[in-house]
Amino acid sequence: MEKKQNVSRAVIQRLPRYYRHLSSLRAKGETRISSRKLAEMLGLTASQIRQDFNCFGGFGQQGYGYSIEKLCEGLEDILGLKRAHTAVLIGVGNLGRALIKNFSFESNGFKLLCAFDSDRMVIGSGMNGVTVRDVSELYAYVDQHKPDIAVLTVPHAIAPALARKLVEHGVRGLWNFTGEDLHLENLGVPVENVHFSDNLMTLCYQVNQTEEK
């Protein structure tokens, strides 16, 4: 599918949701779905889904709906899930260990090459097939293996300097869990800043609104 110019961030952020639900249907043996049915599953409107898909040339056929297999394949192509991107993780504390042990990087488009930390107690250990290296080796490793992205689970105070140094060494994207908002748009490097508190406070607001009704 061909992407139109200037696809909004809101549309891009909905694509993984579409893919996750459609992949589940595909695994169950489902073969076809309408925009109305998909909208019901996602809490959206059928019109919104059609508009989103039209940003990439459209996937459906009038009176037929969508082939789930073709939708999944199209979304995999758009999201780049089959391009064998690579990642390194820096900071093997509680969150870093949880990501290594429980998050499927490969099913989300990335192979986690290795992790880095300064703690002698974890350096040299292996978790879920991922080796933890000394952080002093980080930049030499990045220069040699050229990972596409870095996952940051380090203390927030060191995040800005670390991020810029990684970009200088060729890292092309950051998945940032440090709690420090990083903005590297001026360097042409995308950053996904993850704040668990944002989601929880949003939920807090919504719960508060139901109490006031």
- Residue 171, token pair as written in the block: 């890292």
Annotated binding residues for NAD(+), written as ranges, equal 91-96
Q: Is 198 exposed, middle or buried (0-12, 13-18, 19+ CB in 10 A)?
A: exposed
3-state secondary structure 28-52: CCCCEECHHHHHHHHCCCHHHHHHH
* 47: number of Cβ within 10 Å: 11
* Location of structure tokens 């986690």: 112
Whole-angstrom distance, CA of residue 154 vs CA of residue 177: 8
